[in-house]
Amino acid sequence: MTESVSPYTDRRQRHAADMMGMYLFLGTEIMLFGGLFAAMALTRLQHPAEYVAHSRELHLWIGAWNTVILLTSSLFAALAVHAAREGAGRAAARWLGATAAFGLGFLALKATEYTLEFREGLLPVTGGDGALSEPVQRLFMHLYLVSTGLHAVHLTIGICVVTGLAWRLRRAESARAIPVEITGLYWHLIDVVWVFLYPVLYLAR
């Protein structure tokens, strides 16, 4: 007879512990992006008129469509978790594949937007900053590039993890729900970060 060395009394407790560990990690992510949001808040506090003027230069509708894409990808991630909980591995894999595809769609649209801004001379990178004349405009566009860039890096990691999980589950007759749930939490947090980035950067009026 083998003696159990599990620290958990039951599955429910184990599930709660797994979720709590992930939420602690997500807390560090919230603080990482929170520092950038604090910088944006103080920039707006100090230069309200300029902040609004430079926000108007961003592509509001590209940002709106990317929000639609990301919110939809989150729905697919939630449906993947539901499928995994029902033990439907292949269905979970399909929803995860759709999640990753919409994540790629977001990145493609974001790349198009960066290209437009580069041509307009608004991107604070070598060769793309010709139209940046004022210091506050440069600061605003730096905050924009760093925060959306950091968000894109997180989304890229999310796409890799989601794709890997979908690949593992592609022929599964059943599925352990916890890896799908934890991956889903990460994906949804990236969505939440964008939900705040969009109005703070694009919709300041």
Partner 1 sequence: MSVTRLLVLTWAALLLLLALTVAASFLLVGPPSLAAGIGIAAAKAALIFWVFMHLREDTGLLRVVAIAAFAWLGILFALGGLAYLG
Q: Which of 50, 59, 62, 78 binds partner 1 (CB under 8 A)?
A: 78
**CB 125 to partner 1: min, Å:** 27
163 contributes a contact to partner 1 by CB under 8 A = no
b/e per residue 50-89 (b: at least 16 CB within 10 A): bbeebbebbbeebbeebbebbebbbebbbbbbbbbeeebb
Q: Which of 24, 127, 133, 171 binds partner 1 (CB under 8 A)?
A: 24
Q: What Rg value do the Cα atoms of the chain yield, rounded?
A: 20
Per the structure block, which two tokens stand in for 27?
A: 């807390």
Kindly give the residue spans of alpha helices, DSSP state H, lying in 56-176: 60-85, 89-119, 135-169
Alpha-carbon gap, residue 138 to 127, rounded angstroms: 14
Per the structure block, which two tokens stand in for 179?
A: 């890896």
Per the structure block, which two tokens stand in for 140?
A: 């605003």
Q: Which of 8, 38, 125, 135 binds partner 1 (CB under 8 A)?
A: 38
Binding mask 167-186 for partner 1 (x = CB under 8 A): --------------x--xx-
26 contributes a contact to partner 1 by CB under 8 A = yes
For partner 1, the binding residues (CB under 8 A) are 16, 19-20, 23-24, 26-28, 30-31, 34-35, 37-38, 41-42, 44-46, 48, 52, 60, 64, 67-68, 71-72, 74-75, 77-79, 81-82, 181, 184-185, 188-189, 191-192, 195-196, 198-200, 202-205
